[in-house]
Structure 1
Amino acid sequence: MIAYLLLAHGNPAHLQRLIARLRSDGTAFFIHVDQKANARAFAHLALDDVTLMPEPVAVHWGDYSQVEAILLLMKTALAAGPFTRFVLLSGVDYPLKPTAAINAFFAAQPDAEYINLVPMPCAAAGKPLARLTSYTLRPTLSALHRLTLRVLLKARIIPRQRDHARALGALTPYGGSTWWALTRGACDYLVDYVARNPGLVRFFKGTQYADETFLQTILGNSPFMANVRRNLTYTDWSGGGASPANMSAKHVDYFRANTQFGAGDIYGSGPMIFARKFGDSDAALLQAMDTHLSHAAYDRPIEPVNQ
């Protein structure tokens, strides 16, 4: 049984299409719509197998609020049923494989944890220690709180550079990507670890891109590390900048020719099962994707890469 955890802030039509493509027996969807978004645009998605978070978080780019939304989804799904696989996707993702093949893939790999992890610092993956050591003011703080902290930082009463080793203790810092597909055991472990370590939570609330370091650090220092494989989501960062490229016709051609991440990828080789990002205006492109998915050549099983 698969629980899809979906982070959304726009493109409700695409999200509906994503759910329809992944829907099958034993599958359920848990959606976090950014508190700042128009919740009414997503209300029609709430069905028997779709749960919208009733008290969503206001999510800000690069802020710990994204981790809070992920943990809310994780806790809700864990309590909702006996799901064995939890897959975190964005609301602008789309599958690169038929649903039956995805379900079979996860059933055949019951213990694998699909998440990108590298020890920090890692220049090749763009994961400097500055993400942990440079104190970052949270955008969710009140204007008065932010002003007070700025004054304390300027006066060096609060150090801008922090001792991450002291905060992490025996933990080795890990960085990676936001998106993953984890087992129930790993999700239970993460939720329990977060509840028992409020000091670590406080530290990561003052870091940048905690969605790429916090859960990754916990899991990288856990017994589940032995089963970690690279993640399953293709993202095109070739253009540089803070955001990945939108999918286009050239990407559909790429997916026809490539089904695996190459061995030269910093996170290792493995199957490409999802891709981001698509939007409400990509109907023709998504039709091409659906044609690609329905082609007989893609009905073969997804080949895992064992480590």
Structure 2
Amino acid sequence: MKIAILILLHEYSEQQKKLVDYLSTYFDVYIHIDKKTAISVDSFFGNNIFVFKKYKVYWGSYNQILATLFLFKEANKKQYDRYVLISGADIPLKTGKEINNFFMSDSKEYFASFDLPTYWYDRIDFYYPNILSFDRATPLEKLNKKIFDKINNYIIPFVKKNKPHRSRMNIRFYAGANWMNLTNNCVNQIIVFIKNNKNFLKWFKFTRCADEIFFQTIIHNYINNVEIVNDCLRYIEWEGGSDHPKILKLEDYDKIKNSRCLFARKFDYTVDNFVIDKLYNDIRNN
């Protein structure tokens, strides 16, 4: 069973080092580093670790789609049986052997998927300028979050009022978290579809947060002979009243361990390193 782990990385600390070190023991790892960061491709060592720094990836931007698609294309050159897309804020809950065995016995496509909610159509119905995409993780954004929020709260209604509507494609749109677990059959078809339908990709250029729409919509509408399971196999808790994942802490340990998920997110070493160390100790000692 050949599994490729694809990681979208915008920061690199002890937390991400643990992630890559552990997963690369069992799987080939493909990493896309956000080009606007100072992270060096030379930070990673290993014959089965493939590192790229191609796109500046702003939160909610078109480049989120491009960076993800790039990783799928690079890994697909080696024709893996399974492609698992994670972020640098994920942690495996199962051992490498358990992850391998799970996918060896199951050929379904696992990702979160649902009909695009009415209130999400704003993401694709208007032309959004790049200023609407920003990084929550950068020091500047952390210091000026309220300012960015006020700018966005002002600009978004202005865009909707003054920018022309985009002609919506005559297809059914789907959405879901962009953390996916796809078979080779599915990824092969996605890449061929994009190659033969470049305008489909370009159509998403001035959208907002469409990385949570793009792949689900392709798979449901254009990919054949696949069985989809509405489950991304991630343990995630959502902050009350928002669509942002909660930072998991030691107090969440029992809930995390009682899940059947392969991974959990979102973790932050600067917020709670104890839960991270405890989870890694679990899988190393299993």
Q: Secondary structure at the match of 2:50?
A: strand
Q: CA deviation at 1:113?
A: 0.4
Matched, 1:117 2:113: yes
Q: CA deviation at 1:237?
A: 1.0
Q: Give the unaligned 5+ runs of structure 2.
A: 134-155
Query: Taking structure 1 as the reference length, what is the TM-score of the superposition?
Result: 0.77
Q: CA deviation at 1:7?
A: 0.4
Q: CA deviation at 1:39?
A: 2.2
Measure, in 1, the Cα distance between the counterparts of 2:269 and 2:285: 24
Q: Secondary structure at the match of 1:207?
A: coil
Residue 251 of structure 1: aligned partner? 252
Q: Secondary structure at the match of 1:4?
A: strand
Q: Secondary structure at the match of 2:5?
A: strand
Measure, in 1, the Cα distance between the counterparts of 2:177 and 2:62: 14
Distance verdict in 2 for CA 1:278–1:121, change over 3 Å = closer
Distance verdict in 2 for CA 1:37–1:240, change over 3 Å = farther
Q: What number of residue pairs does the alignment pair up?
A: 259
Q: Secondary structure at the match of 1:87?
A: strand
Query: What letter corresponds to residue 166 of structure 2 in structure 1?
Result: R
Match of 1:97 among 94, 98, 103: 94
Q: CA deviation at 1:14?
A: 1.5
* 1:165-185 CA-partner distances (Å, limit 9, x unpaired): xxx23x211111110110111
Work out whether residues 12 and 39 of structure 2, in 8 Å CA contact, stay in contact via their aligned partners in 1. Answer: no
Work out whether residues 138 and 205 of structure 1, in 8 Å CA contact, stay in contact via their aligned partners in 2. Answer: no
Percent identity, please. 28
Residue 129 of structure 1: aligned partner? 121
Q: CA deviation at 1:205?
A: 1.2
Measure, in 1, the Cα distance between the counterparts of 2:161 and 2:61: 24
Q: Secondary structure at the match of 1:39?
A: coil
> Larger deviation: 100-109 or 196-205?
196-205
RMSD: 2.5
Residue 167 of structure 2: aligned partner? 163
* 1:88-143 CA-partner distances (Å, limit 9, x unpaired): 0001110111221111001111x210111111226xxxx622222132123499xx
Q: Give the unaligned 5+ runs of structure 1.
A: 142-149, 261-271, 297-307
Q: Secondary structure at the match of 2:65?
A: helix
Work out whether residues 63 and 209 of structure 1, in 8 Å CA contact, stay in contact via their aligned partners in 2. Answer: yes
Residue 278 of structure 1: aligned partner? 267
Residue 151 of structure 2: aligned partner? none
Measure, in 2, the Cα distance between the counterparts of 1:180 and 1:154: 31
Work out whether residues 59 and 69 of structure 1, in 8 Å CA contact, stay in contact via their aligned partners in 2. Answer: yes
Query: What letter corresponds to residue 76 of structure 1 in structure 2?
Result: E
Measure, in 1, the Cα distance between the counterparts of 2:132 and 2:14: 29
Measure, in 2, the Cα distance between the counterparts of 1:154 and 1:82: 42
Match of 1:138 among 130, 137, 152: 130
Distance verdict in 2 for CA 1:173–1:283, change over 3 Å = same
Distance verdict in 2 for CA 1:280–1:226, change over 3 Å = same
Work out whether residues 247 and 276 of structure 1, in 8 Å CA contact, stay in contact via their aligned partners in 2. Answer: yes
Residue 22 of structure 2: aligned partner? 21
Query: Taking structure 2 as the reference length, what is the TM-score of the superposition?
Result: 0.82
Residue 64 of structure 2: aligned partner? 66
Residue 218 of structure 1: aligned partner? 218
Matched, 1:188 2:188: yes
Matched, 1:237 2:241: no
Q: CA deviation at 1:13?
A: 2.1
* 1:204-234 CA-partner distances (Å, limit 9, x unpaired): 1121111100111000113457511111112
Work out whether residues 93 and 275 of structure 1, in 8 Å CA contact, stay in contact via their aligned partners in 2. Answer: yes
Measure, in 2, the Cα distance between the counterparts of 1:65 and 1:96: 29
Measure, in 1, the Cα distance between the counterparts of 2:212 and 2:223: 20
Measure, in 1, the Cα distance between the counterparts of 2:276 and 2:109: 28
Distance verdict in 2 for CA 1:295–1:254, change over 3 Å = farther
Measure, in 1, the Cα distance between the counterparts of 2:74 and 2:250: 37
Distance verdict in 2 for CA 1:154–1:211, change over 3 Å = closer
